[in-house]
């Protein structure tokens, strides 16, 4: 997926990861996120309710704030409790634990 082509939601991610595994991609490859221009391993996953940036149109230059619940992949050196403690977001109970 290229930037602006498609929005990644939980269903899209589930299907894509399944296709990668079916295609023989090593399931032990670390999952990362980009922070400050560099890949960092994902250390935690949280469901958060609050605002987030989204891309309303690939032709727009700026992102726009939207409110809702998101699945946040939290990289190493980041702590989701920082935004929960400052009351900008609420953590939503995950029905399953990250193994």
Buried b or exposed e, range 83-99, using 16+ CB within 10 angstroms: beeeeebeeeeeeeeee
Measured in degrees and rounded to the nearest 5, phi and psi for residue 85 equal -65, -30
What is residue 6's predicted lDDT score, i.e. its pLDDT?
58
Token pair, residue 98, equals 């990250």
Token pair, residue 29, equals 């490859």
Taking only the tens place, the pLDDT of each residue in 81-92 is: 888 888 889 999
Q: Specify whether the CB–CB gap between 98 and 45 falls below 8 A.
A: yes
Please, which pLDDT band fits residue 2 given cuts at 50, 70 and 90?
very low
Is the pLDDT reported for residue 68 higher than 80?
yes
Helices (H) and strands (E) in the chain, counts: 2, 4
Taking only the tens place, the pLDDT of each residue in 40-49 is: 999 999 999 9
């Amino acid at each position: 997926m290229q930037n602006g082509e498609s929005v990644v939601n939980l269903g899209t991610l589930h299907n894509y990861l399944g296709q990668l595994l079916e295609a023989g991609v090593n399931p032990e490859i670390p999952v990362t996120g980009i922070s400050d221009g560099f890949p960092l391993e994902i250390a935690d996953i949280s469901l958060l309710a609050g605002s987030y940036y989204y891309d309303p149109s690939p032709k727009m230059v700026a992102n726009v704030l939207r409110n809702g619940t998101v699945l946040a992949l939290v990289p190493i050196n980041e702590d989701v409790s920082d935004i929960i403690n400052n009351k900008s977001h609420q953590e939503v109970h995950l029905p399953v634990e990250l193994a």
